[in-house]
């Protein structure tokens, strides 16, 4: 085989920036899978290296210890789980009930996605050990949703359609009421029927509105 032919073989030479980024993402995804399956304490770099098909020395070149790899894996999970604030704002219509149903549905679907369930499970299991990661998920994922809902409620309160004093607090109560219970059930392994979930969200939205409309 000539040197030119040798140089053309796949996999020879330094990886491109795109290939390196892809391997980095694969490593973090595999690491999260191992952490979710075994918990932080019982997970090992050996197991993560085997799952990712990567040498331990390569992992240690990127992350000095298991904790830093765990934090990076959770951060990637948060990035994949977060709903862009534009998506939530685009759900707004002139009708308050329809808007709230749409936002609650978006939140439920994202929480119950594979990324959302994995993130909930790892934070529920290890949040006491890494409280800053729980806060990170809340700040990046929940706070923007609360802001959008609060803005929606504030606008309809200004028109007199509803009466509220603390939009941010009321927004939190709305999410807990419409999404909290079913999301927890899915994280624990319960299978949700889409029609039942849709009915529950609509019912909870109507109950919520009954509580904030002028009397």
How far is it, in rounded angstroms, from Cα 73 to Cα 125?
Answer: 15
Residues 37 and 69 in one domain: yes
Burial class (CB in 10 A: 0-12, 13-18, 19+), 177: middle
Q: What is the pLDDT of residues 88-105, one digit of tens each?
A: 999 999 999 999 999 999
Q: What is the mean pLDDT of the chain?
A: 89
Number of domains in the chain: 2
Check whether 1 has a pLDDT greater than 60.
no
Same domain, 67 and 100: no
CATH number of the domain bearing residue 33: 1.10.10.60
Residues 105 and 59 in one domain: no
Instruction: Print the domain residue range for 200.
Output: 82-212
Q: Determine, yes or no, domain membership for 114.
A: yes
Last residue of a domain, one of 36, 61, 79: 79
Phi first, then psi: what are they for 165, rounded to 5°? -105, -35
Q: Which ranges in the chain belong to alpha helices (H)?
A: 3-7, 17-42, 45-52, 56-62, 66-81, 85-90, 96-111, 114-126, 131-137, 143-158, 167-175, 181-187, 194-212
- pLDDT score at 215: 84
- Does the pLDDT value for residue 113 go beyond 60? yes
Domain presence at residue 7: no
Residues 72 and 31: their CA atoms lie apart, in Å, by 9
- Summarised one tens digit per residue, pLDDT across range 16-46 is 888 888 999 999 999 999 999 999 999 999 9
Query: What is the mean predicted confidence (pLDDT) over 135-139?
Result: 91
pLDDT of residue 3: 45
Q: What is the domain-level CATH number for residue 187? A: 1.10.357.10
Instruction: For tokens 């509105």, name the residue.
Output: 209
């Amino acid at each position: 085989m000539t040197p030119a032919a040798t140089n053309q073989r796949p996999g020879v030479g330094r990886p491109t920036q795109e290939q390196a980024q892809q391997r980095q993402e694969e490593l973090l995804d595999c690491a999260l899978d191992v952490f979710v399956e075994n918990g932080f304490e019982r997970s090992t770099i050996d197991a993560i290296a085997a799952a990712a098909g990567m040498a331990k020395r390569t992992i240690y070149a990127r992350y000095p210890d298991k904790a830093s790899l765990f934090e990076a894996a959770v951060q990637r999970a948060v990035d994949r789980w977060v709903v862009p604030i534009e998506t939530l704002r685009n759900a707004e219509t002139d009708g308050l009930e329809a808007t709230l149903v749409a936002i609650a549905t978006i939140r439920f679907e994202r929480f119950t996605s594979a990324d959302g369930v994995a993130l909930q499970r790892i934070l529920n299991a290890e949040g006491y050990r890494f409280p800053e990661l729980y806060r990170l998920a809340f700040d990046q994922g929940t706070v923007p949703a609360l802001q959008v809902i609060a803005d929606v409620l504030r606008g309809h309160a200004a028109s007199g359609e509803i009466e509220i004093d603390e939009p941010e607090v009321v927004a939190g109560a709305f999410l807990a009421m419409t999404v909290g219970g079913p999301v927890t059930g899915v994280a624990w392994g319960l299978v949700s029927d889409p029609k039942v979930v849709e009915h529950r969200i609509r019912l909870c939205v109507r109950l919520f509105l009954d509580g904030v409309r002028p009397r």
